[in-house]
Amino acid sequence: MSDHHQFWVQHYPRLAASANPVLQNLRQSARLVRLPANHLLFRPGSPCGQYLLLTEGCVKVQLLTASGREVLLYKVHPGHACILTTSCLMGQNRYPAEGITEQPTAAFAINQADFQQALQQSDFFRQFVFCDFAERLGRVMARMEELVSGDIDSRLIRVLLEASDCGVVHRTHQQLALETGTVREVVSRHLKRYREQGWIRLGRSHIILLDVAAMKAQLNP
Protein backbone atom coordinates (compact mmCIF):
# COMPACT_ATOMS: atom_id res chain seq x y z
CA MET A 1 0.00 0.00 0.00
CA SER A 2 1.47 3.38 -0.98
CA ASP A 3 1.96 6.17 1.57
CA HIS A 4 -0.49 8.24 -0.44
CA HIS A 5 -3.33 5.72 -0.10
CA GLN A 6 -2.36 4.76 3.45
CA PHE A 7 -2.67 8.36 4.63
CA TRP A 8 -6.10 8.68 3.06
CA VAL A 9 -7.27 5.50 4.80
CA GLN A 10 -5.71 6.41 8.15
CA HIS A 11 -6.76 10.05 8.44
CA TYR A 12 -9.71 10.44 6.05
CA PRO A 13 -11.31 6.97 5.91
CA ARG A 14 -14.70 8.19 4.71
CA LEU A 15 -13.18 10.00 1.77
CA ALA A 16 -10.89 7.04 1.07
CA ALA A 17 -13.77 4.55 1.00
CA SER A 18 -15.99 6.51 -1.38
CA ALA A 19 -16.36 5.14 -4.91
CA ASN A 20 -17.75 8.44 -6.17
CA PRO A 21 -15.86 9.34 -9.39
CA VAL A 22 -15.54 12.96 -8.25
CA LEU A 23 -13.82 11.91 -5.03
CA GLN A 24 -11.70 9.34 -6.83
CA ASN A 25 -10.44 12.11 -9.08
CA LEU A 26 -9.87 14.31 -6.02
CA ARG A 27 -7.73 11.66 -4.31
CA GLN A 28 -5.71 11.02 -7.45
CA SER A 29 -5.04 14.69 -8.17
CA ALA A 30 -4.13 15.60 -4.57
CA ARG A 31 -0.41 16.08 -3.96
CA LEU A 32 1.17 14.80 -0.75
CA VAL A 33 3.42 17.66 0.36
CA ARG A 34 5.96 17.60 3.18
CA LEU A 35 6.97 20.77 4.98
CA PRO A 36 9.69 21.46 7.57
CA ALA A 37 9.03 22.91 11.02
CA ASN A 38 8.58 26.69 11.21
CA HIS A 39 7.53 26.87 7.55
CA LEU A 40 5.30 29.86 6.75
CA LEU A 41 2.26 28.47 4.93
CA PHE A 42 0.45 31.76 4.53
CA ARG A 43 0.51 35.32 5.81
CA PRO A 44 -2.04 38.17 6.01
CA GLY A 45 -2.94 39.31 2.50
CA SER A 46 -1.63 36.23 0.69
CA PRO A 47 -3.98 34.48 -1.79
CA CYS A 48 -5.42 31.04 -1.09
CA GLY A 49 -4.90 28.56 -3.92
CA GLN A 50 -5.21 25.12 -2.34
CA TYR A 51 -7.14 23.12 0.22
CA LEU A 52 -4.89 21.31 2.70
CA LEU A 53 -5.81 18.14 4.61
CA LEU A 54 -3.19 17.37 7.25
CA THR A 55 -1.81 13.85 7.64
CA GLU A 56 1.17 14.55 9.94
CA GLY A 57 2.42 17.34 12.18
CA CYS A 58 0.67 20.50 13.26
CA VAL A 59 0.00 24.00 11.93
CA LYS A 60 -0.63 26.96 14.22
CA VAL A 61 -2.77 29.80 12.90
CA GLN A 62 -2.22 33.14 14.60
CA LEU A 63 -3.27 36.75 14.29
CA LEU A 64 -0.87 39.67 14.54
CA THR A 65 -2.39 42.63 16.41
CA ALA A 66 -1.67 46.28 15.64
CA SER A 67 0.71 46.36 18.61
CA GLY A 68 2.69 43.45 17.16
CA ARG A 69 1.41 40.85 19.61
CA GLU A 70 0.74 37.33 18.37
CA VAL A 71 -2.61 35.75 19.29
CA LEU A 72 -3.06 32.04 18.66
CA LEU A 73 -6.42 31.36 16.98
CA TYR A 74 -6.23 27.59 16.67
CA LYS A 75 -4.07 24.65 15.63
CA VAL A 76 -4.67 22.22 12.77
CA HIS A 77 -3.92 18.54 13.40
CA PRO A 78 -4.07 15.44 11.18
CA GLY A 79 -7.60 14.56 10.11
CA HIS A 80 -8.66 18.19 9.75
CA ALA A 81 -8.46 21.14 7.40
CA CYS A 82 -7.70 24.79 8.18
CA ILE A 83 -10.97 26.71 8.57
CA LEU A 84 -9.41 29.96 7.34
CA THR A 85 -8.32 28.17 4.18
CA THR A 86 -11.82 26.78 3.72
CA SER A 87 -13.35 30.22 4.27
CA CYS A 88 -10.92 31.93 1.88
CA LEU A 89 -11.48 29.34 -0.85
CA MET A 90 -15.26 29.54 -0.62
CA GLY A 91 -15.31 33.34 -0.41
CA GLN A 92 -12.38 33.88 -2.77
CA ASN A 93 -10.74 36.07 -0.14
CA ARG A 94 -7.15 36.56 0.99
CA TYR A 95 -5.81 35.27 4.28
CA PRO A 96 -6.36 37.56 7.31
CA ALA A 97 -3.83 35.72 9.52
CA GLU A 98 -0.70 33.60 9.26
CA GLY A 99 -0.18 29.85 9.41
CA ILE A 100 3.12 28.25 10.47
CA THR A 101 4.09 24.59 10.83
CA GLU A 102 5.04 23.78 14.43
CA GLN A 103 6.84 20.57 13.47
CA PRO A 104 7.59 18.61 10.29
CA THR A 105 4.21 18.41 8.60
CA ALA A 106 2.61 16.50 5.73
CA ALA A 107 -0.66 17.26 4.00
CA PHE A 108 -2.70 16.51 0.92
CA ALA A 109 -2.78 19.65 -1.24
CA ILE A 110 -5.89 19.96 -3.41
CA ASN A 111 -5.80 22.79 -5.93
CA GLN A 112 -8.57 25.37 -5.97
CA ALA A 113 -10.19 24.15 -9.21
CA ASP A 114 -10.49 20.53 -8.00
CA PHE A 115 -11.77 21.70 -4.62
CA GLN A 116 -14.49 23.85 -6.20
CA GLN A 117 -15.49 21.08 -8.61
CA ALA A 118 -15.80 18.51 -5.83
CA LEU A 119 -17.72 20.97 -3.68
CA GLN A 120 -20.23 21.56 -6.48
CA GLN A 121 -20.59 17.99 -7.73
CA SER A 122 -20.34 15.85 -4.60
CA ASP A 123 -22.88 16.06 -1.77
CA PHE A 124 -20.60 13.79 0.24
CA PHE A 125 -17.58 16.07 -0.08
CA ARG A 126 -19.67 19.17 0.57
CA GLN A 127 -20.97 17.65 3.80
CA PHE A 128 -17.42 16.68 4.82
CA VAL A 129 -16.11 20.21 4.24
CA PHE A 130 -18.99 21.97 5.99
CA CYS A 131 -19.06 19.60 8.98
CA ASP A 132 -15.32 20.02 9.54
CA PHE A 133 -15.66 23.77 9.13
CA ALA A 134 -18.54 23.99 11.63
CA GLU A 135 -16.75 21.83 14.21
CA ARG A 136 -13.53 23.81 14.00
CA LEU A 137 -15.31 27.17 13.98
CA GLY A 138 -17.13 26.22 17.17
CA ARG A 139 -13.81 25.54 18.88
CA VAL A 140 -12.36 28.83 17.68
CA MET A 141 -15.36 30.73 19.02
CA ALA A 142 -14.99 28.96 22.37
CA ARG A 143 -11.33 29.95 22.47
CA MET A 144 -12.14 33.58 21.65
CA GLU A 145 -14.71 33.63 24.45
CA GLU A 146 -12.10 32.17 26.81
CA LEU A 147 -9.54 34.79 25.80
CA VAL A 148 -12.02 37.60 26.35
CA SER A 149 -13.65 36.45 29.58
CA GLY A 150 -11.40 33.77 31.09
CA ASP A 151 -8.69 34.47 33.65
CA ILE A 152 -5.00 33.91 32.92
CA ASP A 153 -4.62 31.22 35.59
CA SER A 154 -7.32 29.02 34.06
CA ARG A 155 -6.00 29.45 30.53
CA LEU A 156 -2.39 28.77 31.48
CA ILE A 157 -3.15 25.74 33.64
CA ARG A 158 -5.36 24.27 30.93
CA VAL A 159 -2.60 24.71 28.33
CA LEU A 160 -0.04 23.08 30.64
CA LEU A 161 -2.28 20.10 31.32
CA GLU A 162 -3.20 19.60 27.67
CA ALA A 163 0.42 19.92 26.50
CA SER A 164 1.78 17.55 29.13
CA ASP A 165 3.59 14.46 27.86
CA CYS A 166 4.07 12.10 30.81
CA GLY A 167 4.20 15.09 33.14
CA VAL A 168 6.58 17.15 31.02
CA VAL A 169 5.57 20.23 28.99
CA HIS A 170 7.99 21.14 26.20
CA ARG A 171 7.12 24.82 25.81
CA THR A 172 9.02 28.06 26.25
CA HIS A 173 7.47 30.94 28.17
CA GLN A 174 6.95 32.75 24.86
CA GLN A 175 5.11 29.78 23.35
CA LEU A 176 2.87 29.57 26.42
CA ALA A 177 2.17 33.29 26.12
CA LEU A 178 1.07 32.81 22.51
CA GLU A 179 -1.23 29.92 23.43
CA THR A 180 -2.81 31.78 26.35
CA GLY A 181 -3.22 35.11 24.57
CA THR A 182 -0.99 37.12 26.89
CA VAL A 183 2.66 38.26 27.08
CA ARG A 184 5.74 36.37 28.19
CA GLU A 185 6.25 38.44 31.35
CA VAL A 186 2.78 37.55 32.61
CA VAL A 187 3.33 33.84 31.93
CA SER A 188 6.71 33.91 33.70
CA ARG A 189 5.17 35.58 36.75
CA HIS A 190 2.42 32.95 37.00
CA LEU A 191 4.85 30.07 36.46
CA LYS A 192 7.07 31.38 39.24
CA ARG A 193 4.06 31.36 41.57
CA TYR A 194 3.17 27.80 40.53
CA ARG A 195 6.76 26.78 41.32
CA GLU A 196 6.58 28.38 44.77
CA GLN A 197 3.33 26.50 45.39
CA GLY A 198 5.05 23.23 44.51
CA TRP A 199 2.93 22.58 41.40
CA ILE A 200 5.74 22.63 38.84
CA ARG A 201 9.50 22.57 38.34
CA LEU A 202 10.95 24.91 35.72
CA GLY A 203 13.66 23.78 33.29
CA ARG A 204 15.20 25.08 30.09
CA SER A 205 12.41 25.04 27.47
CA HIS A 206 10.43 22.54 29.51
CA ILE A 207 8.24 22.39 32.63
CA ILE A 208 7.71 19.38 34.90
CA LEU A 209 4.26 19.05 36.45
CA LEU A 210 4.59 17.97 40.09
CA ASP A 211 1.04 18.34 41.41
CA VAL A 212 -1.49 17.78 38.63
CA ALA A 213 -4.31 17.27 41.15
CA ALA A 214 -3.81 20.75 42.62
CA MET A 215 -3.73 22.28 39.16
CA LYS A 216 -6.95 20.53 38.14
CA ALA A 217 -8.55 21.68 41.40
CA GLN A 218 -7.76 25.25 40.40
CA LEU A 219 -9.92 24.76 37.28
CA ASN A 220 -12.78 23.32 39.30
CA PRO A 221 -12.78 25.14 42.65
pLDDT in tens, 33-74: 999 999 999 999 999 999 999 999 999 999 877 666 778 888
Separation in Å, CA 29 to CA 32, 33, 54, 147: 10, 12, 16, 40
Q: 150: which residues sit within 8 A by CB, 6+ positions away?
A: none
- Per-residue confidence band for 184, with pLDDT thresholds at 50, 70 and 90: confident
Report the pLDDT value the prediction gives residue 1, as an integer from 0 to 100.
46
Report the pLDDT value the prediction gives residue 125, as an integer from 0 to 100.
93
Report the pLDDT value the prediction gives residue 121, as an integer from 0 to 100.
94
pTM of the model: 0.69
Domain ranges of the chain: 3-148, 150-219
For 201, phi then psi, to 5°, come to -125, 130
Same fold, 3-148 and 150-219: no
pLDDT digits (tens, 9 = 90+) for 100-141: 999 999 999 999 999 999 999 999 999 999 998 998 888 888
Round to whole Å and give the CA distance between 161 and 211.
Answer: 11
- Per-residue confidence band for 152, with pLDDT thresholds at 50, 70 and 90: confident
Round to whole Å and give the CA distance between 78 and 9.
Answer: 12
Report the pLDDT value the prediction gives residue 221, as an integer from 0 to 100.
57
Answer whether 106's CB lies under 8 Å from 54's CB: yes
CA torsion 197→203→205→210, rounded to 10°?
Answer: -40
Q: What is the mean pLDDT of the chain?
A: 88
Q: 61: which residues sit within 8 A by CB, 6+ positions away?
A: 72, 73, 74, 75, 76, 82, 84, 97, 98, 99
Architecture of the domain defined by 150-219: Orthogonal Bundle (1.10)
Report the pLDDT value the prediction gives residue 68, as an integer from 0 to 100.
67
- 3.40.50.1370, 2.60.120.10, 2.60.40.1120, 2.60.40.10: CATH of 3-148: 2.60.120.10
Answer whether 105's CB lies under 8 Å from 157's CB: no
